Amino acid sequence: MMLSKKACPARLLSHPLPIWLRIAATCAIAASASAQVPTDLTSARFAPNCGAANVTQLFADAKLAGGQYGVNNLQDVSDPDIALIGNQWWLIFASNPGPSRGLEPVAAYLPPGASLSTTGVFPADPNGWHLVGAKADGTGKGVAISGTPSPAGWDTIAAETPSIEVGPDGKVGVYYAGHNLGQTNFEIGLMPNVVNGVAQGNDPVPAMVATQPWEFANDLGAILEQSVRWMPELNKYIMYYTARAWWDVPPDNDIAYAESTDGITWTNRQHLGFPVSYYNQDFVYNPQRNRYEMVIANDPTGAGGGNGRNLVWRDAATPGTQFSDWQNEVTLLDRNDPNAATWYNQGLLSPAIKYGNLPGEENRIYVFFHAYGSSNPMSIGRFYCDATNVSTPAFTLTSAAPFLNLAPGNGTTMPITVNPIAGFTGTVNFSISGVPAGASAVTLPSSSTTGATFVIYVSSAVQAGRYPLTVTGTSGSLTQSTTFTLNVSGQDQTIAIQPFAPNNITYTPGLTYNINASASSGLPVTLSVGGNGTINGNVLTVTGGGDIIVAANQAGNGTYNPAPQATATLVVAPQVQTVNVAPIPAQTVGGTLDLSPYVTTSSGLTGYTWVGQTPAVCTNNGSAVTFVSPGTCIIIAIQFGNQYYGPAGAGITITVNPAPIAAGPPLGAVQLHATVSTAGTFVHSPSSSTVPGVPSTLAVRVTPANTTKVTSTTV
Asked, for residue 497, whether it belongs to a domain, the answer is no
Same domain as 152, residue 215: yes
Task: Please tell me whether the peptide bond between 123 and the residue prior to it is cis, using omega within 30 degrees of 0.
Answer: yes
pTM above 0.75, yes or no: no
User: For residues 340 and 285, what is the distance between their CA atoms, to the nearest angstrom?
Assistant: 30
For residue range 454-488, list pLDDT tens digits in order: 999 999 888 888 899 999 999 998 888 899 999 99
Dihedral angle sign, alpha carbons of residues 203, 208, 213, 216: negative
Asked, for residue 430, whether it belongs to a domain, the answer is yes
For 413, list phi and psi in degrees, rounded to 5. Answer: -125, 155
Same domain as 351, residue 337: yes
CB–CB of 158/222 below 8 Å? no
pLDDT at 104: 82
Same domain as 375, residue 293: yes
Q: Which amino acid is at 665?
A: P
Asked, for residue 368, whether it belongs to a domain, the answer is yes
What is the spatial order of strands in the sheet that 592-594 belongs to?
Answer: 592-594, 624-627, 618-621
Same domain as 58, residue 9: no
- 3-class DSSP state of 463: coil
Listed as ranges, residues in the chain with pLDDT below 50 are: 1-42, 63-71, 183-184, 710
pLDDT at 707: 59
Asked, for residue 674, whether it belongs to a domain, the answer is no
3-state secondary structure 322-350: CHHHCEEEEEEECCCCCCCCCCCCCEEEE
pLDDT at 686: 66
- 3-class DSSP state of 452: strand
Q: What is the CATH number of the domain that holds 185?
A: 2.115.10.20
CB–CB of 617/626 below 8 Å? no
Asked, for residue 36, whether it belongs to a domain, the answer is no
Same domain as 193, residue 75: yes
User: For residues 538 and 516, what is the distance between their CA atoms, to the nearest angstrom?
Assistant: 7
Q: Which helix (H) or strand (E) holds 633?
A: strand 631-639
pLDDT at 18: 39
Q: For residue 685, how far is the Cα from the chain centroid?
A: 101
User: For residues 462 and 465, what is the distance between their CA atoms, to the nearest angstrom?
Assistant: 9
Same domain as 583, residue 569: no
Domain boundary among 458, 488, 518: 488
Same domain as 234, residue 90: yes
Task: Name the domain count of the chain.
Answer: 5
Which DSSP string do the residues of 173-199 spell out, in sequence order? EEEEEEESSSTT-BEEEEE--EETTEE
Kindly report the number of other CB atoms within 10 A of residue 210's CB atom. 20
541 vs 199, 508, 572, 583, CA distance in Å? 47, 11, 12, 41
Q: What is the CATH number of the domain that holds 652?
A: 2.60.40.1080
Q: What is the CATH number of the domain that holds 419?
A: 2.60.40.10
Q: Which amino acid is at 154?
A: W
pLDDT at 134: 75
Strand 278-286 to 291-298 pairing: antiparallel
Same domain as 378, residue 265: yes
Dihedral angle sign, alpha carbons of residues 370, 341, 137, 109: negative
Same domain as 122, residue 216: yes
Same domain as 401, residue 277: no
CB contact burial 47-84 (16+ within 10 A = b; e otherwise): eebbbbebbbbbbbbbebebbbbbbebbbbbbbbbbbb
Asked, for residue 96, whether it belongs to a domain, the answer is yes
CB–CB of 656/587 below 8 Å? yes
pLDDT at 568: 94
Selection from 73, 66, 81 nearest residue 121 by Cα: 66
Q: Which amino acid is at 274?
A: F
Task: Please tell me whether the peptide bond between 445 and the residue prior to it is cis, using omega within 30 degrees of 0.
Answer: yes
- 3-class DSSP state of 346: coil
Selection from 573, 515, 504 nearest residue 541 by Cα: 515
CB–CB of 109/129 below 8 Å? yes
CB–CB of 381/372 below 8 Å? no
Q: Which amino acid is at 5?
A: K
Q: Which helix (H) or strand (E) holds 104?
A: strand 104-109
User: For residues 158 and 178, what is the distance between their CA atoms, to the nearest angstrom?
Assistant: 5
Same domain as 653, residue 634: yes
Asked, for residue 37, whether it belongs to a domain, the answer is no
Domain boundary among 573, 605, 626: 573
pLDDT at 101: 62
Domain with 207, as residue range(s), is 50-386
pLDDT at 1: 29
User: For residues 175 and 402, what is the distance between their CA atoms, to the nearest angstrom?
Assistant: 20
To the nearest 10°, report the CA torsion of 460, 465, 468, 471: 10
Asked, for residue 125, whether it belongs to a domain, the answer is yes
CB–CB of 392/362 below 8 Å? no
pLDDT at 663: 62
With a CB cutoff of 8 Å and minimum separation 6, the contacts of 599 are 579, 580, 581, 582, 608, 623, 637, 650, 652
User: For residues 517 and 568, what is the distance between their CA atoms, to the nearest angstrom?
Assistant: 10
* Start-end of H helices in 121-167: none
Same domain as 569, residue 700: no
